[in-house]
Amino acid sequence: MLKFRKIPAETIRRMPRYLRAFSLLGQEGQAYISSQALAGQLHLKPPQIRKDLSYFGDFGTRGVGYPVSDTARRIREILKLDVAQKAVLIGAGRLGTAIASYPGFAMFGFDIAAIYDNSPAKIGKKLAGLTIQDIQTLSGIAEQRIRLAILAVPSESAQACATLLVDAGIRGILNLSPSWLKVPKRVKVVSIDLAMELGTLLFYL
């Protein structure tokens, strides 16, 4: 039964990992998997997986485990990946190029629908099958119903781009620069800071 208690942020973060695991198991033709077996693969504890999934309803069958394809489908719905999600990529530099062709997005039915940059040298060129467009024309994406953006620009330009994105109606930003973006509360930002992770590594060295 679906609970109304608040779902922990950490649980949400793990859901894509579960989805990946269930998708892979489905491709291998496995019909069921127990929390214990899955925990072995993902290097988590079994109760954590059970509790995480239970926040969204009763996924499993006692004595049997979790039905692989059905659970994968339900997690896709939870993450809104049952419908193809379009995203816009800002920045066609080296990082943007890498992102544009990142194979990991495809598995999630994730689709980069447009690429923007501010460099005249890049505008008009092709990248991953898309024509790089002028960032000044960004407001045009409003009609395309794109709600997500991936921001792969230097940190100096990050805030300016973020403001443009918000004005263009974007609802979520994946920020790959080490800067904090000031956006309205309705817009969700997730930042990945390479140096931050590297620092962790160095300390424990």
Give the residue, chosen from 37, 39, 78, 130, that forms a contact with its own copies under the rule CB under 8 A. Answer: 78
Question: DSSP label at 55?
Answer: T
In the bound complex, what is the minimum distance in angstroms from residue 135's beta carbon to its own copies? 19
Question: Within 22-81, which residues bind DNA (CB under 7 A)?
Answer: 33-36, 44-48, 50-51, 53-54, 58-66
Q: How far apart are CA 78 and CA 18, in angstroms?
A: 12
Q: Which does 86 bind (CB under 5 to 8 A by kind): DNA, its own copies, none?
A: none
Q: How far apart are CA 165 and CA 154, in angstroms?
A: 16
In the bound complex, what is the minimum distance in angstroms from residue 75's beta carbon to DNA? 13
Give the residue, chosen from 37, 39, 107, 183, that forms a contact with its own copies under the rule CB under 8 A. Answer: 107
Question: Cα angle vertex 69, ends 68, 71, to 5°?
Answer: 70
**Contact between 201 and DNA (CB under 7 A)?**
no
**Contact between 55 and its own copies (CB under 8 A)?**
no
**Contact between 174 and its own copies (CB under 8 A)?**
yes
CA 128 to chain centre: 19
- Nearest Cα residue to 153 out of 171, 127, 132, 179: 179
User: Whose Cβ is closer to its own copies: residue 13's or residue 131's?
Assistant: 13
Q: How far apart are CA 169 and CA 159, in angstroms?
A: 16
Q: How far apart are CA 38 and CA 4, in angstroms?
A: 26
Query: What residues line the site for DNA (CB under 7 A)?
Result: 1, 3, 6, 8-11, 33-36, 44-48, 50-51, 53-54, 58-66
